[in-house]
Amino acid sequence: MSSLKKLLMILLMNLYSKTMRRFFLLTKIIFLASCASIDEQFLIQSDIEKNGNAQEILDQLNDPELRKGKVFVFSNIQDDLWRYVRVNGDELFMRDQEVQIFDLVGGENDIYTFGKIFGDEVGNCSKEPYSFNTEDFRGLDTHYFMILKPAALEFIGRMVSCYKEVHLKEEAFFYYLENPRSRWNWDWVLNKRAWSPPPEKGELELD
């Protein structure tokens, strides 16, 4: 009986030892993953976070006079990640749900949203900038864009999500700022021709 107890004690100790080693290993993995997540959160910063100019942008956006001659871009993808937006050659790094500001030029303007993999620009639905001419929008001193990510790019026979620049009416832009997950309204889009084919009903709903 004494030998049996000793054997059981040895087995229990071995089991305990293995369990604790696995526990500490799992704890270490979770700790390292958390540290990596924290490092990423603090090391990867958007241009607004680096420059600390969020209030300046909001002040211009909310002032009818200050926002003249500007292009405002709202990233509304709901992924809390980052992307690059280039307007008229000026490139900025944006976090999702941020608003950025660019200078509008007379005549031809272009906007392009993309990610980067090994230095290559990827992820845009059209694979080329969306261009618009201010002569086609006389009376508009300010232009507004929202970045979406519909499933509109074919890859290996399947449709995958990609970046799309939506040229919006002013009231639509401010509405989506306040209600980012609201349903899509096709009547608010200024660049309908850029969607080929046009999105199906509900395809771009944000809620």
- CA dihedral for 88, 48, 123, 163, sign (positive or negative): negative
In a domain, residue 10? The reply is yes
Residue-number span of the structural domain to which 9 is assigned: 1-43
Worst-scoring range by mean pLDDT, 98-107, 114-123, 197-206? 197-206
Rounded CA-CA distance 22/10 in Å is 18
Strands 99-103, 70-75: pairing kind? antiparallel
Which residues are paired to 116 by β-bridges?
121
Tell me: the pLDDT tens digits for 128-156?
999 999 999 999 999 999 998 876 555 55
Residue 52 has pLDDT above 60, yes or no: yes
**Domain identity same for 13 and 101:** no
Q: For 65-89, write each residue's pLDDT tens digit.
A: 999 999 999 999 888 788 999 999 9
Co-location of 7 and 61 in the same domain: no
Average pLDDT value for residue range 156-161:
65
Mean pLDDT score across all residues of the chain: 79
Within-domain flag for 201: no
Q: Please classify residue 151 by burial: count the beta carbons closer than 10 Å to its beta carbon, then call 0-12 exposed, 13-18 middle and 19+ buried.
A: middle
Total tally of structural domains belonging to the chain: 2
Give this prediction's pTM: 0.73
